[in-house]
Amino acid sequence: MPRDMSIVGYDDQNLAALLRPRLTTVAQPVLSIARSAVEALLVQLEGKEQSLPVVLKPELISRESSAPPSRQKENQL
């Protein structure tokens, strides 16, 4: 468990779950990104107008490398 700080990675690489402590990470919706890109390409090839921007939500995968601040540290601030 983290004592003094939390660490968060990005992309949720396979290695993140294998490290000790396991790394908290932000996972991108890769399949949704690919699907949106293909749909945008098909729309463009048909000569239609794009309905951009596309907003996709990442997912926070909380693991052992992050924790809420301790109450003791909060009182010292």
Separation between Cα atoms, residue 67 and residue 73, nearest integer Å: 13
The pLDDT of residue 15 is 80
What's the predicted TM-score (pTM) here?
Answer: 0.64
pLDDT in tens, 18-48: 888 888 999 999 999 999 999 999 999 999 9
Mean pLDDT for the chain? 84
The pLDDT of residue 5 is 84
**How many CB atoms sit inside 10 A of residue 47's CB?**
6
Contact of 7 with 23, CB cutoff 8 Å? yes
**Domain boundaries defined on the chain:** 8-76
Burial of 65 (0-12, 13-18, 19+ CB in 10 A): buried
